[in-house]
């Protein structure tokens, strides 16, 4: 996991002011891949007990807008945040427990899919979510 100095450097490179809440949010997202907002708030408050919920929400918005973290929101689930950015990877989600795991590009380089027709769009990203059962949930399913 990157150090506090690495997080400060990342913030500076994104032309963002370095603050303790921003560093704590980046640390939380790196430490807890696919964390929802409440998980990030809890992790940040473990380091900065008096930080407000609104500060964490605002910081997540800012660091996402500057591509320091990535926000994903599979259908029917709350938004999740991850530190793996810039590689256009995909996700697999468990239908039973909502566990999320990363899946590398399925075909070629980003955006990892080939369109039959792009309708004039300059496509730079594809968001693919695979659904199924994670190993724990599939092991608990009765065999027929």
Name the domain count of the chain. Answer: 2
pLDDT of residue 103: 87
Asked if residue 80 is part of any domain, the answer here is no
Residues 58, 14, single domain; the answer is: yes
Structural domain containing residue 132: 86-140
Q: Which helix (H) or strand (E) element contains residue 100? A: strand 100-103
- Helix (H/G/I), strand (E/B), else coil: 92: strand
The token duo for 33 is 């891949």
pLDDT of residue 140: 82
Say if residue 107's pLDDT is above 70.
no
Asked if residue 128 is part of any domain, the answer here is yes
The CATH number assigned to the domain holding 53 equals: 1.10.10.10
Say if residue 110's pLDDT is above 60.
no
pLDDT tens per residue across span 55-96 = 999 999 999 999 999 999 999 999 999 999 988 788 999 999
């Amino acid at each position: 996991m990157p150090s506090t100095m690495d997080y400060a450097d990342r913030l500076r490179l994104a032309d963002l002011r370095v603050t303790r809440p921003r560093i704590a949010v980046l640390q939380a997202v790196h430490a807890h891949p696919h964390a929802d907002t409440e998980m990030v708030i809890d992790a940040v408050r473990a380091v900065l007990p008096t930080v407000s919920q609104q500060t964490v929400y605002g910081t997540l918005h800012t660091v996402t807008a500057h591509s320091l973290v990535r926000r994903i929101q599979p259908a029917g689930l709350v938004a999740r945040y991850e530190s793996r950015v810039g590689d256009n990877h995909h996700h697999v989600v468990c239908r039973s427990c909502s566990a999320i795991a990363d899946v590398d590009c399925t075909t070629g380089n980003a955006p990892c899919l080939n369109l039959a027709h792009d309708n004039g769009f300059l496509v730079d990203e594809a968001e693919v979510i695979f659904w199924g059962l994670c190993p724990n949930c599939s092991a608990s399913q009765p065999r027929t």
